[in-house]
Amino acid sequence: MDDITNSGPSTRTRRTGLVFGGTVLILIAGGITMQVWRAQSSHAAEQKGQPPVASAGSDAFRKAYARVNGDSITYEALAQECVERHGKDVLENMVNRMIIQQECARRGLTVSEAEVDQEIVEISKKFGLALDQWYKMLQAERNLTPAQYRRDVIWPMLALRKLAGRDVEITREMIELAYEDNYGPRAKARMIVLDNIRRATEIWEKAKNSPDDFESLARDYSMEPNSRALGGVIPPIRRNSGAHENLRKAAFAMKDVGELSGVLQVGPSQYAILKFEGFTEPVDHNIADVEAQLHADLTEREVQRMVGETFEKLQQQARVDNFLTGESRGRVEAASGVEADTAEAPATR
């Protein structure tokens, strides 16, 4: 279930989310090497220390990767098991990366190794870590090697930024709303999430008749695992961002501690009930003193939004035939020459 409230993270955690979140993590997989990445219909160069990709019938294809009491485990057997266990996810991620690669080729865009190096240095500086410490943190927290991080996270992010091709504009209104979010009061609440309106209405009636039972109702019925374990407790809701708009409006419309919201739709087949528990104290800061940091945070957020929109558009425009899963998606050209949308259908070779 997607998160429908913000988590109120620290600055470090929030920025980590920006680095790893959204479309970027979708792209993580093995496969295409990171060089200059002028996307052409060429094979990925071999990386040092890795075995070559074997073609059917080649010696490498039949090479033994292990022997057990004299019996060999070949590349073919190893590859087949890897495909069966992880092939669907890895292939989908490679498809996503190829979509970006092809669009870069079409537009003549490149991302150099120097650009990748510079981006990684800047990110590590934001966290106050030396480069080697940053890589160690990635390995420990995300199980990413430096090569994977460069290839699967940083390159797609930089490529999508170039493909987005738009300058970020941060208005005065955006600064003021971000200031209110970061330093103004936030609504404290408990929440129950249900997956259909009938059930949500039933639970709302129970909570209305016995408000003191809200915590136990959340533990018994909520579909949101994180808050359910805490009796419905959620991070304080900001006025302008983070949580679903319907949650924010309802939270800031309530005045009395213990007051219940109505049943709020917060997603497809997702309905929430809030119990208001007051407001946090605002933090006294002069907006001029924090404006530069707010601007930087907003810029980062807007870049991620544009990257996500660009990637979503590329996915919608791409024709993908996945022979592993037997599914196809994207646009096809009809016999009349007019493009038509296709639902996911079996793919044929």
pLDDT at residue 129 above 50?
yes
Q: Which two tokens stand for residue 323?
A: 């022979």
Q: Do 93 and 140 fall into the same domain?
A: yes
The pLDDT value recorded for residue 22 is 36
pLDDT at residue 285 above 90?
no
**For range 185-214, the mean pLDDT:** 96
> Is 348 inside a domain boundary?
yes
Question: Between 224 and 39, whose confidence is greater?
Answer: 224
The conformational region for residue 144 under phi > 0 = left, psi -120 to 50 = alpha, else beta, is beta
Chain-centre distance of CA 109, in angstroms?
A: 24
The pLDDT value recorded for residue 44 is 35
> Is 175 inside a domain boundary?
no
Which residues form the domain of 331?
Answer: 321-349
State the pLDDT confidence band at 300, using cuts at 50, 70 and 90: confident
> Is 287 inside a domain boundary?
no
**Boundary of a domain, candidates 145, 161, 177:** 161
| Residues ≥6 apart with Cβ < 8 Å to 316 | 330
Q: Do 157 and 198 fall into the same domain?
A: no
Q: Do 155 and 15 fall into the same domain?
A: yes
Report the distance separating Cα 197 and Cα 38, nearest Å: 50
**For range 262-286, the mean pLDDT:** 94
**For range 55-69, the mean pLDDT:** 74
> Is 219 inside a domain boundary?
yes
Report the distance separating Cα 129 and Cα 280, nearest Å: 32
Three-state DSSP state, 90: helix
Report the distance separating Cα 162 and Cα 110, nearest Å: 9
Report the distance separating Cα 346 and Cα 71, nearest Å: 38
The pLDDT value recorded for residue 17 is 43
Q: Which two tokens stand for residue 284?
A: 């006294």
Question: Between 279 and 76, whose confidence is greater?
Answer: 279
Exposure of 12 in the CB half-sphere (CA atoms within 13 A): 7
The pLDDT tens digits of the residues spanning 157-172 come to 999 999 998 788 999 9
State the pLDDT confidence band at 11, using cuts at 50, 70 and 90: very low
**For range 315-321, the mean pLDDT:** 93
Q: Which two tokens stand for residue 228?
A: 């359910």
> Is 345 inside a domain boundary?
yes
**Boundary of a domain, candidates 93, 128, 161:** 161
The owner of tokens 């639970």 is 203
Output the domain CATH number for residue 246.
Answer: 3.10.50.40
Q: Do 218 and 344 fall into the same domain?
A: no
Q: Do 134 and 268 fall into the same domain?
A: no
> Is 21 inside a domain boundary?
yes
**For range 3-31, the mean pLDDT:** 41
Q: Do 55 and 192 fall into the same domain?
A: no
Q: Do 22 and 150 fall into the same domain?
A: yes
pLDDT at residue 59 above 80?
no
pLDDT at residue 32 above 80?
no
Cα angle, residue 321 at apex, residues 317 and 322 outer, rounded to 5°:
125
> Which residues sit opposite 328 in a β-bridge?
321, 345
The pLDDT value recorded for residue 166 is 78
The pLDDT value recorded for residue 342 is 58
Q: Do 94 and 156 fall into the same domain?
A: yes
Contact 155, 116 (CB under 8 A): yes
The pLDDT value recorded for residue 336 is 52
pLDDT at residue 27 above 60?
no
Q: Do 147 and 17 fall into the same domain?
A: yes
Q: Do 24 and 156 fall into the same domain?
A: yes
> Is 296 inside a domain boundary?
no
Q: Do 132 and 42 fall into the same domain?
A: yes
> Is 234 inside a domain boundary?
yes
Number of domains composing the chain: 3
pLDDT at residue 90 above 90?
no
**For range 49-75, the mean pLDDT:** 72
Q: Which two tokens stand for residue 304?
A: 């991620």
pLDDT at residue 332 above 90?
no
pLDDT at residue 316 above 50?
yes
Q: Do 274 and 326 fall into the same domain?
A: no
